[in-house]
Chain A
């Protein structure tokens, strides 16, 4: 089954840029979605279809994809961005169509 690999953690200073990666075989041939989850809360979709930002999500959040790696980019990081971030792809031919990465915990220094 499809496997998505994320770094477990990332630390970033306020005002700097955080880049969270998600690696998967042939990832460039599919669409990657990103979710933010703050402690005690449900996940929230922040980027879909690699680069699209849903309504209400700050412009500081953006996405990119190149080859086998998708990247969630958080510009001008704020303390409120501290959360877990998950990538997800959909594999309709698989037994588990929704595949999630293990998540990256972003800490704001």
Chain B
């Protein structure tokens, strides 16, 4: 059974930093691209960042580029999101999400349970 378990969320101050982690199990982790997707009541589901299966290619939403860094350690079946220069509008539930791509399209076929990040002074 595919499992994605996030950790690292909590309450943080604007301008601060945190690192989210995602522990993957139940599949060959090194074969899949991975994503971070966040969700707020106001903005809905918002893609944040992607990393290729090898980790050699990364991509970021414009709203987080230059502040967030996605990384992975395939030997540890782990995914990370380093979040710096936090802003109030980074507050959201952050999901670790497995990508499955075929025929020129990608879907998210498995999601973690999510971890809540709240940014407030």
Q: Is B61 an interface residue (CB 8 A)?
A: yes
A100–B45 CB distance below 8 A: yes
Q: Is A89 an interface residue (CB 8 A)?
A: yes
Contacts of B26 in A (CB 8 A): none
Contacts of B45 in A (CB 8 A): 43, 86, 88, 100, 103
Instruction: Identify which of residues 5-19 in chain A touch chain B, using a CB-to-CB cut-off of 8 Å.
Output: none
Contacts of A88 in B (CB 8 A): 45, 107-108
B103–A31 CB distance below 8 A: yes
Q: Is A79 an interface residue (CB 8 A)?
A: no
Contacts of A102 in B (CB 8 A): 44
Q: Is B112 an interface residue (CB 8 A)?
A: yes
Of the A-B pairs whose beta carbons lie under 8 Å apart in the complex, a sample of 22, sorted by A's number, is A30-B105, A31-B104, A33-B105, A33-B108, A42-B95, A43-B95, A45-B109, A48-B109, A49-B103, A54-B109, A86-B45, A88-B45, A88-B107, A90-B101, A90-B107, A97-B50, A97-B106, A98-B35, A98-B108, A100-B44, A100-B47, A103-B45
